[in-house]
Structure 1
Amino acid sequence: MFDYNLSVEYASFIILIAVLISFFKDYDVKTLNYKVIRTLYVIAFLSVLFTLISAEMTNGSITSGSLWLSYTVTMIRFLLVPCVVVFFIVYSVQITTFKKQDKPIVKPLFPIFIPYIGYVLFVLIATPKDWLFTITLEEGYIRGPFYYAPAVIIGIYLIIMFVLLLSNLYSHTKDIAPVLIATLGCTIIFICVQILVPSLIVTGIANTMAILIIHFHVQNISKSSDNLTGLLNRTCLMHKVNESIKKKKNFSLYVFSLRNFNMVNERYGVDIGDNVLKQVGHILMDSFNFRNVFRYGGDEFAILLTEEADVTIVVDKFKQSILLYSKEIFIDVVYARVDYPEFGFTYQDLISAIDFSIKTLKEDLHGKQYLYDISIVENRLHKYNMIDKLKRALEHDEFIVHYQPIFSEELGCYVQAEALVRMQGDDGKLIYPGDFIDIAEQTGLVVRLTYKVLDIVCRDLREIIDNCIGNDNFASISINFPYLQFFNPNMIDRVMEILNRYEIEPSMIKIEITERTLIDDSDYIKNLMGIMQHKGFVFELDDFGVDYSNLSVLLDLPLNIIKIDRSLLLSVFGTQENEQFFKHLVCAVKAVDRSVLIEGIEEEEQRDFCLRAGCDLFQGYFFSRPVPFEKFKELI
């Protein structure tokens, strides 16, 4: 009969409960690894629970009514103690061997259970024969001749654990080695303590230590894995990329992105969308090593390769439909590649390059699927450098305006001009709009830039007025207002504030818009144009003949001037049939009380052609190139 010391066991039991509560509260047990962990935790909890119940029931005399119950509880305790070690090894093998998180493991891992199955049969046979233990009414619990059977079976599994440790140490990943080392050490120590101090039960503390080791490992994994797909996450990708860069090891980074994946969520629901993402992860894991596949974010996945591989194989798999819940789902995949060190020397350089590549592919309207282009890096650097230059130029007034005068054949003089902005470069050379306007529009900086140009134009107009420069017919300067300008809060008030500062009449400012401005919220923009026209502003439709060329615009909007683009002039110039069409077009514009301005006149024949067609105003190199303000004052 034993008088057990259960203080350590109860303390361990309380800690184990706290760990279990934390696990079930913080972790979603959808993947197979977490299901194995959940099973392990529950078995460890039951093992300690039945150990405590058994010890309390057999610690002293036993009543006749509880004798059979004591036998049953103690037998279950003997069955559960080695079971913890078994599932610990199952967890370790699952992590180190199998890539797919939801792959059935019963068949490949069945050999691990063979020693334990033999042990279970032995316990079921040995308990009635009192080989493991005896429980009497007078003396309580008494050890049997095969009392150390649990230690033997645990020893067998410790050998299996040691073999698993060696194989992991000699692998490239060493994923589970620290866990195995810690568990082996703790288990051996607790077995020795149990043998040397029989009255001290250490089952609880041994199980609790094993669970804590697993728990810390799970927390570490959760920081580096994606909860939905079970793949390694972007944080882990960053660490692996930085590690390869530190070792000066060349590698290629691929990112696969699902084009229009939001349509899957909208049509089939988020649950099916999540399952599609899981299937995509499985397709990638079937083709590449699990440790090279990452959930990059959203509908994007990354592959990190240190050797050349044929990724077109996996791309072909994506061409096949995915069958989920009797629904056939087709996905469209685009992918890009960047190499270290060719595309960049830091993690951020490579990520910026791959993100820019994927963005380019998704915006491509021609269905391009793959992008591997070093010029992406150059374009990206140019874009970011230009953004910095734009911000600096706006801050330090480094924009200047050139003016291209507009000629009236009827009056025989320049009657207005177009303001064309330039940016001063670091080397003193001018940077032309073609290099920065698109970037300014993409970043929204074009709004501030337009106000800056308007301020310069009003300042120059004030000088022209104050010094009586130019002929009596010179009336206005036109400025291009981009689409974003009309959606800037208090746009009209801001424009009027600038004009009032220089005492410029609104009629002296012609606002150029393009048909692209009217793609969205045309009614809203039309309303703003009406308000500004009422204040005296004049509106020009720029680039007529490019893109849409919708004649209904001439009727719907409060326009004063239609500026016909040079491309339309070149397409009709030279043939009598096209000349007739051009004449009718000009007549149609003038019939709705709009003036016609033709731009891009570079030759005398072009000017004469436009005169015959009935054009009112002319702009182009034939008359004058865009010139600085000082030269412009001389021209007018």
Structure 2
Amino acid sequence: MNKTPLQALIIEDDPNDVELLLLELRRNGYEPNYRCVDNATDLADALQQKWQVIFSDYTLPSFDGMAVLSQVREKDPDTPFIFVSGTMGEERAVEAVKAGAQDYLIKGDLKRLPTTILRELRETTARRDRRKTEARMRFLANYDELTSLPNRSLFAAKLDQAIEHARKTDTMLGVVHFNLDRFRDINSSMGQKTGDQLIKRIAARLSDNAAQDDIIARTSGDEFAVLLPNIRLTQELLDRIRSLYACITEPLTLSGYAMHLRASLGASLYPFDSEKAEELQRNAGMAMHKAKQDGGNCCRVYKAEIRNTFYERINLERDLDQAVIAQDFSLNYQPQVELASGRMLASEALIRWVHPQKGPIRPDLFIPLAEETGLILPIGLWVLREACRQAQQWRAECGIETPRVAVNFSAFQFRQRNLVDIVKDTINEYQLEPSFLEVEITETALMQDPEMALRILAKLSNLGISISLDDFGTGYSSLSYLKRFPVDILKIDRAFIHDIDTDEDNAAITRAIIAMSERLHIKVVAEGVETRQQLDFLRNEGCDLVQGYYFHRPVPGKELNALLTCKNPFAAQFGPTPTSASAVPAVPAAQD
């Protein structure tokens, strides 16, 4: 019969007792591969090898059983340790089990030996699995699984220690937070596996280039924290941040692609920005967000102004959330005028928010905040519904064909897979023909996910809804996009119109856009028309429609009723060119 191999270490000074133990093992189906030792030196050498089970006498010439057990457990916490002794006694046996032994057998009475071995080999596997699980839990409590860098919790503990050291040595320390710009785009376009590889490469690069006392942590997704201790001069902090930035943004090749990395960094300095760890981290985080708001690919060092701006933003976000719940917004409408006739063919719906304490909040402040927080979805739905409601009311009150209402859609809204159904349900609810609605989207928003945008725009166009490409000329401006996407209208950005009569480059760009659109059978709307000179230029170049303060400022819907009852309400403003500045309507410098 085949016997089961058993790696056994026997700690015994009596050869007869060793033979009796081996005989009993063989009789029960084991073939021991064993080593016998009887002193601490040989035991230390034997413990360099892995054993399945360890048998030990309790009374030995050079040391006792508890000393043996202690030496074994210091080296190996899991291997079954079984005392085989005739002099141990129950009291000592209990003490031994508490100290880490698994069992106690009496010499000359080894009946329990086979069941004890089976049980302990099985329990050893469970013990080792449990110990691995506990070790992994301890690791994950302090380290990031992907990069093996310290996590947020351990970084905070290290920062506390570093602050205490800096206090004792009268030195400074820097805290830097950074994340990768456009990391979400990399994850979306190349997959999470590639994104994880990028994070690991960045972590390895930082570790390889860090000074001996630097602490690098991964605090979340693509965000890292770096502790720079032992700083004597402020300039030293700036130099180390520059070196850190260069390390992060050095190009690398991943999955066959050459990547030019960008990052936003924020830094704070102990003790000037704070003497508390939590505040130092918070200040560095606020500085990092400031770098993001400034366009990314830069570093910002904390200043009190950043904190004030950050808190204002937090408060504004809270108030915006309440405004969404209360639907505390309104829409103004600005006419789009056909140059050939002076008719109002459309009006752009422009959202307004009047804060109960702060008064009117500019859209360029709260719309980006709404997009960052996801509030743009309920806001966008409200705008769509309110614009359609106003169009229905115009039809009921004015009794004539209602001009199109142009509604701005953000890139965030175009990530909604049910967007087309939302639009369809809304126009049906207000009993509007699809032709009364115009959807405006910017070039930049369009290109965040071109394929999804193409599918959505095609469905909207098939319904009969007009598609307008806003801010044209400031983004990608590729003819291939105009050929692929069902675009009905191009809106020339006001940046080109503002000084069109004095800036030759802007004039040339505007001419080119109008000429190109005519060949593609796309209508053109020029935004931001404020002067007669701008109007004359656009009319001479064959622009289709204009929008701006020269004709009408944005107003609540009911204030356009009078214009809707006129056939050509703006025809009078196409008269002879004014001969004096006083004939040009006064307009503010900025508009929506």
User: Could you tell me the TM-score, scaled by structure 2's length?
Assistant: 0.61
Q: Say if 1:228 and 1:381 are closer, same or farther in 2 by CA, change over 3 A.
A: same
Q: Which residue of 2 aligns with 1:107?
A: none
- Report the more deviating stretch, 413-422 or 576-585: 576-585
Displacement of 1:468 in angstroms is 1.6
Displacement of 1:347 in angstroms is 7.3
Structure 2 matches for 1:77-476, cutoff 5 A?
77=40, 79-80=42-43, 147=62, 208=100, 222=139, 225-226=142-143, 232-239=150-157, 252-255=174-177, 277=203, 280-281=206-207, 284=210, 286-288=212-214, 294=217, 296=219, 302-304=225-227, 308=231, 310=236, 312=239, 316=243, 336-339=266-269, 354-355=284-285, 367-368=297-298, 371-372=301-302, 375-427=305-357, 429-468=359-398, 472=400, 475-476=403-404
Q: Say if 1:414 and 1:50 are closer, same or farther in 2 by CA, change over 3 A.
A: same
Secondary structure of the 2:357 match is coil
Q: Does 2:460 match 1:532?
A: yes
Displacement of 1:392 in angstroms is 2.2
Q: Which residue of 2 aligns with 1:606?
A: 534
Runs of 5+ consecutive residues of structure 2 not aligned to the other structure: 1-6, 23-34, 49-56, 75-88, 102-126, 251-257, 565-592
**CA displacement, residues 586-624 of structure 1 (integer Å, 9 cap, x when unaligned):** 344234433332211111221122222222322111112
Displacement of 1:403 in angstroms is 1.1
- 1:208 counterpart letter in structure 2: G
| Greater per-residue strand proportion | 2
Distance 2:406 2:259 in 1: 51
Q: Say if 1:506 and 1:349 are closer, same or farther in 2 by CA, change over 3 A.
A: farther
Q: Say if 1:501 and 1:346 are closer, same or farther in 2 by CA, change over 3 A.
A: farther
Q: Say if 1:75 and 1:278 are closer, same or farther in 2 by CA, change over 3 A.
A: farther
Q: Which residue of 2 aligns with 1:586?
A: 514
Secondary structure of the 1:457 match is helix
**CA displacement, residues 359-412 of structure 1 (integer Å, 9 cap, x when unaligned):** 776898885367545555445444443433333222211111011122334333
Q: Does 2:435 match 1:507?
A: yes
Question: Is contact 2:288-2:299 (8 Å) kept?
Answer: no
Secondary structure of the 2:529 match is coil
Question: Is contact 1:404-1:419 (8 Å) kept?
Answer: yes
Secondary structure of the 1:412 match is coil
- 2:416 counterpart letter in structure 1: N
Q: Say if 1:337 and 1:538 are closer, same or farther in 2 by CA, change over 3 A.
A: same
Aligned-residue identity in percent:
24
**CA displacement, residues 484-507 of structure 1 (integer Å, 9 cap, x when unaligned):** 333423322221221222222222
Question: Is contact 2:501-2:533 (8 Å) kept?
Answer: no
Secondary structure of the 1:287 match is coil
Distance 2:438 2:260 in 1: 49
Distance 1:576 1:251 in 2: 53
Displacement of 1:418 in angstroms is 0.9
Question: Is contact 1:403-1:626 (8 Å) kept?
Answer: yes
Q: Work out which of the residue numbers 587, 595, 612 in structure 1 matches 2:523.
A: 595
- 1:453 counterpart letter in structure 2: V
Displacement of 1:453 in angstroms is 0.7
Question: Is contact 2:66-2:96 (8 Å) kept?
Answer: no
Q: Say if 1:492 and 1:280 are closer, same or farther in 2 by CA, change over 3 A.
A: closer
Q: Say if 1:430 and 1:579 are closer, same or farther in 2 by CA, change over 3 A.
A: closer
Displacement of 1:545 in angstroms is 2.4
Q: Say if 1:233 and 1:506 are closer, same or farther in 2 by CA, change over 3 A.
A: closer
Q: Which residue of 1 aligns with 2:405?
A: 477
Distance 1:581 1:483 in 2: 26
Q: Say if 1:387 and 1:287 are closer, same or farther in 2 by CA, change over 3 A.
A: same
Alignment coverage as a number of residue pairs: 483
Distance 2:499 2:260 in 1: 42
Q: Which residue of 1 aligns with 2:79?
A: none
Q: Say if 1:619 and 1:345 are closer, same or farther in 2 by CA, change over 3 A.
A: farther
Runs of 5+ consecutive residues of structure 1 not aligned to the other structure: 1-44, 64-71, 87-139, 158-178, 180-196, 322-328
Question: Is contact 1:562-1:597 (8 Å) kept?
Answer: yes
Secondary structure of the 1:448 match is helix
Distance 1:517 1:443 in 2: 17
Q: Which residue of 1 aligns with 2:573?
A: none
- 2:100 counterpart letter in structure 1: T
- Report the more deviating stretch, 507-516 or 557-566: 557-566
- 2:152 counterpart letter in structure 1: R
Q: Say if 1:568 and 1:344 are closer, same or farther in 2 by CA, change over 3 A.
A: same
**CA displacement, residues 455-514 of structure 1 (integer Å, 9 cap, x when unaligned):** 111222222222227xx5752221112233334233222212212222222222122222
Distance 1:497 1:62 in 2: 85
Question: Is contact 1:361-1:371 (8 Å) kept?
Answer: no
Distance 2:330 2:158 in 1: 48
Displacement of 1:278 in angstroms is 5.8
Q: Which residue of 2 aligns with 1:119?
A: none
Q: Which residue of 2 aligns with 1:325?
A: none
Question: Is contact 1:78-1:150 (8 Å) kept?
Answer: no
Secondary structure of the 2:100 match is helix
Secondary structure of the 1:423 match is strand
**CA displacement, residues 246-282 of structure 1 (integer Å, 9 cap, x when unaligned):** 9xx897533466888999x989996x98698467446
User: Could you tell me the TM-score, scaled by structure 1's length?
Assistant: 0.58
Q: Work out which of the residue numbers 476, 493, 509 in structure 2 matches 1:565.
A: 493
Secondary structure of the 1:286 match is coil
**CA displacement, residues 149-201 of structure 1 (integer Å, 9 cap, x when unaligned):** 9999xxxx9xxxxxxxxxxxxxxxxxxxxx9xxxxxxxxxxxxxxxxx9x969
- 1:234 counterpart letter in structure 2: R
Q: Say if 1:275 and 1:74 are closer, same or farther in 2 by CA, change over 3 A.
A: farther
Distance 1:389 1:382 in 2: 10
Q: Say if 1:358 and 1:624 are closer, same or farther in 2 by CA, change over 3 A.
A: same
Q: Say if 1:275 and 1:520 are closer, same or farther in 2 by CA, change over 3 A.
A: closer
Distance 1:341 1:525 in 2: 50
